Structure 1
Amino acid sequence: MATVLDEIVAHKQTEVKAARARVTVEVLESQISNAPPVRCFRSALAADPRPGLIAEVKKASPSAGIIREDFEPVAIAQQYQQSGAHCLSVLTDEKYFQGHLDFLRAIRAAVDIPVMRKEFIIDRYQILEARAAGADCVLLIAECLNNEQLNDLYQFAHSLGMETLIELYEPQNLPRVLATGAKLVGINNRDLRNFQTTLEHTFHLLEQIPSDVLLVSESGIRTHDD
């Protein structure tokens, strides 16, 4: 039986094909030559002795529906920065999260902290889009990618000077994530197959993370107590 994640990945394949027909790789590469310099995502998180905070700009989700009716992405991003966020995560998926790559582009021009494209990335083309829009980092989701894809997309992003946050939910995916050489790894507390969340999930995997890897606990963190 197909999961929500399966449905999203299938849609992304169609979406990327359509995007390639609208904007060629050559055009994106030209735009990248004029993109702002990359800001270091990992360093921004590690600089503060307190836990680093990635604040998310998100209008909606499949599990929560509309999160903010009065959604002003740039204003939200600026407020996050003023409130002490170290980095920003910007949802760009249109169908399921009501995001847009234009949100990222506008936010990147309006803030001074690093910005990550949060997307279901399955193709190099999406990484080119991200860098052309000014993204400093991209999210790669282990559950969406086989080993060849994961390694290829990781290497490709870094060849553009970008960083990657590689996310996993399933514990069995941790060895192959670490095998890429990734130094920024996220444990998603939300199972993308059914969107159920438990904060304990990060702690179950914490001891398996090498000391030179910066760990990000993702999803379900809503309050200071969390």
Structure 2
Amino acid sequence: MILDELVQSTRRNMQARQKVLNIDALMRQVATIPLNKNFLFEKKLAADSLSIIAEVKKASPSKGVLVNHFSYMQIAEEYAAAGATAISVLTEKDHFQGNLKFLQEIAASTSTPLLRKDFTIDPYMIYEAKANGASIILLIVAILTNQQLKSFLRLANTLGMSAIVEVHNKNEIDRALAAHARIIGINNRNLKTFDVSLQTTIQLQKYVPSNVLLISESGIKKKQDISKLKQAGVNGVLIGEYLMHSTNKKALITSLRKVDHLD
């Protein structure tokens, strides 16, 4: 199963990084960063009519390499200039060709909130995200125990970080809510089969209380998709491949932000 493989490779790569920088040293590094608990991303997500989280993404397991010339700094600059609510940066190495240096360098060039998009499986990775400039992490319910979900959410909150808790079915929503998730991300992609359907968000959104922020992830390919999701009541959308294939990312984000309900 691809998800198991992703988790295993994530653990191997994390263990290799821990040999270079152990968790005590990493925690000391994080302790030097001024603590800011204004949770800007959550405020923007709640205030905007529809937020766009724009993804910096070179490759994916399902589609392979998306762009051969991966000018990640330029892409992030275009996203920020277009007013993206947040920028998602892939850091998973083996299957998405991501890198922590992408996150670190983008963080140094923008004040836009950054999501470290990876398979968070250990507190080490949360400290790592903070140390490299992220203010948001991703917690995937399908790969975490209830205890891990709760402790990771507490740690993120202590560090002044937001967490998008990713789900794909009602049981996972229930688990996310029990862990006191403030943001739920419904992934329209089944991580076991990689099938994608926007109906996943449309069918599941009713189980997310109105006081919990809601994001729809994956499979957004046109303005009509944005309109459907907006009508379903989501606070934001995370868009990757659609933007990566665009030759004018700034113009596309600008136009998507203006999309209203379509009849």
Instruction: Name the TM tier (shorter chain).
Output: over 0.9
SS of the residue corresponding to residue 192 of structure 1 reads coil
Given that 1:104 and 1:133 are in contact with CA atoms closer than 8 Å, whether structure 2 keeps it comes out as yes
Residue identity matched to 1:208: Y
Does 1:222 pair with 2:221?
yes
Q: Which digits, 9 at most, give the CA deviation of each residue in 1:154-210, with x for residues without a partner?
A: 111111111101001132111110011111110000001121100110011111110
CA RMSD of aligned residues (A): 1.3
SS of the residue corresponding to residue 51 of structure 2 reads coil
For 2:9 and 2:69, locate their aligned partners in 1 and report how far apart those are by CA, in whole Å.
27
Does 1:6 pair with 2:13?
no
Given that 1:44 and 1:114 are in contact with CA atoms closer than 8 Å, whether structure 2 keeps it comes out as no
CA spacing shift, 1:225–1:35, aligned 2, 3 Å: farther
When structure 1 is superposed on structure 2, of 17-26 and 160-169 the one drifting more is: 17-26
For 1:80 and 1:23, locate their aligned partners in 2 and report how far apart those are by CA, in whole Å.
31
Given that 2:168 and 2:187 are in contact with CA atoms closer than 8 Å, whether structure 1 keeps it comes out as yes
Residue identity matched to 1:167: E
For 2:25 and 2:41, locate their aligned partners in 1 and report how far apart those are by CA, in whole Å.
26
TM-score normalised per structure 1: 0.94
For 1:91 and 1:21, locate their aligned partners in 2 and report how far apart those are by CA, in whole Å.
22
TM-score normalised per structure 2: 0.81
Give % identity: 41
1:46, distance to aligned residue in structure 2 (A): 2.0
Q: Kindly indicate whether structure 1 or structure 2 has the higher relative contact order, using CA contacts under 8 Å at least 6 residues apart.
A: 2
When structure 1 is superposed on structure 2, of 171-180 and 25-34 the one drifting more is: 25-34
Match of residue 256 from structure 2: none
- The number of equivalent residue pairs is 223
1:56-135 equivalent positions in 2, closer than 5 A? 56-135=55-134
Match of residue 20 from structure 1: 18
Unaligned 5+ runs, structure 1: none
For 1:33 and 1:214, locate their aligned partners in 2 and report how far apart those are by CA, in whole Å.
29
1:47, distance to aligned residue in structure 2 (A): 2.3
Given that 1:57 and 1:73 are in contact with CA atoms closer than 8 Å, whether structure 2 keeps it comes out as yes
Unaligned 5+ runs, structure 2: 226-263
